[in-house]
Structure 1
Amino acid sequence: MAKLQLTCSCGTVRGTTSDMNGKTGTRIMCCCNDCQSFAKFLEQEGNVLDSYGATEIFQIPLSYVKITEGNEQIACMRLSKKGMYRWYAQCCNTPIGNTMTAGIPFIGLIHSFIDNSSIKDAKLSDNLGYLQTKFARKTVYSDQQASQFFVMSKIVFNLINWKIKGLHKPSVFFNDNGQPVVEPKILNI
């Protein structure tokens, strides 16, 4: 097993994950308008979104992420007061990942924060395909789409399993009281 190496584009924020293998987490391409809005907010559309407007996301337990350098550069935004927490490195606007609340053991790591060579070393599972294709910038053909039912079933199973195992703590994004480590900027889009 191998760890994923994490780094922002300028190298200020660095980290690693717990050991990964082909059964760890879920890899998807998300075309939703919120992921697109996050990339636009960061002015990183060209680095984050593919031609369909999708962001590659790797969903893993929240406690698996360790930031080893640049904690002071971590920032957060939300598209609305109840929206997901969207974490990024403010030094270079590299998106880090998306989380729900502190008690939900989930982070969707964004591909641009993951060192590509470590993906091969960790032998991650294949990408399941595109989701939320109604927001895609161009037609996503059925053979490229992930099965919504299969992906949601896998995510729910993982969340329950990870919650039972207590994999929401420790978290570099939420303190022991369940509050985000930095005050999120709320856009109210």
Structure 2
Amino acid sequence: MTDISLSCECGKTQGIARGISPDSGTRVVCYCDDCQAFARHLGREDSVLDPWGGTDIFQTAPAHIAITEGREYIRCLKLTPKGPYRWYAGCCNTPIANTGSASLPFAGMITAFMEIPADEERILGPVGWYLQGKYATKPLPPGRKIVGFPLSLLVQLFWNILVWKLKGLGKPTPFFDEDGTPVTEPELVQGRKEG
């Protein structure tokens, strides 16, 4: 297991992801239009999206994540009223993570916020799934064309969430107060519809 430094692009928001290994989470690349819209809204397409419009995400438990500097810069938006919370560093609009409500022990860390050493596959594991390939901005390389959200990933995700819940890894979380209130009021981005 490895501790990974976290930092926004300008360095004002920093933290640490503790105990990270391929067994502590699941790595995916998501091509969905909402992940692309999040990066575009922040003006971070070039630093977040891969050449096909995908976002590299490490799904882990919130308790693994701590913000040590710049908590005052943490911002949140929702693309739809029922959609996930999308967290970012307001100092420079670097995306941090996607979460559900405070009761769900899950955080999809955007790897652009992680200072990952060169041997990233040893630390995070290889990308296990490429999601929502139909939203890719151009034809995907062979082996990446996945139209939806695979059942195998849903099973893995539900299992991880159950284990994290039983281990109490939903807290502490840098995204919600003890009573489950978001640490900052989410901004609802206008013009998006529930998908």
TM-score (norm 1): 0.94
The SS at the match of 1:117 is coil
What pairs up with 1:20-35 in 2 under 5 angstroms? 20-35=20-35
Residues 15-57 of structure 1: CA distance to partner in whole angstroms, max 9, x if unpaired?
A: 0012122211000000011100100110111111111110000
Greater Cα offset, 38-47 or 14-23: 14-23
Greater Cα offset, 164-173 or 92-101: 164-173
What pairs up with 1:52-91 in 2 under 5 angstroms? 52-91=52-91
Query: % of aligned pairs identical?
Result: 41
Matched residue, 1:48:
48
What pairs up with 1:106-117 in 2 under 5 angstroms? 106-117=106-117
Say which of 151, 154, 171 aligns to 1:152. Answer: 154
Matched AA of 2:59: Q
The answer to whether 1:37 aligns with 2:40 is: no
The gaps in structure 2 that reach 5 residues or longer are: none
Q: Work out the CA distance in 2 between the residues paired with 1:134 and 1:102.
A: 30
Residues 43-79 of structure 1: CA distance to partner in whole angstroms, max 9, x if unpaired?
A: 1111111111100000000111000000001000001
The SS at the match of 2:143 is helix
Matched AA of 2:41: F
The SS at the match of 1:34 is helix
The SS at the match of 2:86 is strand
The answer to whether 1:13 aligns with 2:38 is: no
Q: CA deviation at 1:166?
A: 1.5
Q: Work out the CA distance in 1 between the residues paired with 2:178 and 2:122.
A: 30
The answer to whether the 8 Å contact 1:35/1:55 transfers is: yes
The answer to whether the 8 Å contact 1:4/1:119 transfers is: no
Q: Work out the CA distance in 1 between the residues paired with 2:128 and 2:106.
A: 18
Q: Work out the CA distance in 2 between the residues paired with 1:118 and 1:62.
A: 24
Residues 139-178 of structure 1: CA distance to partner in whole angstroms, max 9, x if unpaired?
A: 2255125681222211111011111111111111101111
Q: CA deviation at 1:98?
A: 0.3
Structure 1 residues 120 and 31: alpha-carbon distance in aligned structure 2, compared to 1, 3 A threshold: closer
Matched residue, 2:166:
164
Matched AA of 2:155: S
Matched AA of 1:45: E
The answer to whether the 8 Å contact 2:59/2:107 transfers is: yes
Q: Work out the CA distance in 2 between the residues paired with 1:143 and 1:118.
A: 24
Structure 1 residues 61 and 145: alpha-carbon distance in aligned structure 2, compared to 1, 3 A threshold: farther
Matched residue, 1:138:
138
| Deviant stretches of 4+, over 4 Å | none
RMSD across aligned C-alpha pairs, in angstroms?
A: 1.7
TM-score (norm 2): 0.91
Q: Work out the CA distance in 2 between the residues paired with 1:129 and 1:7.
A: 25
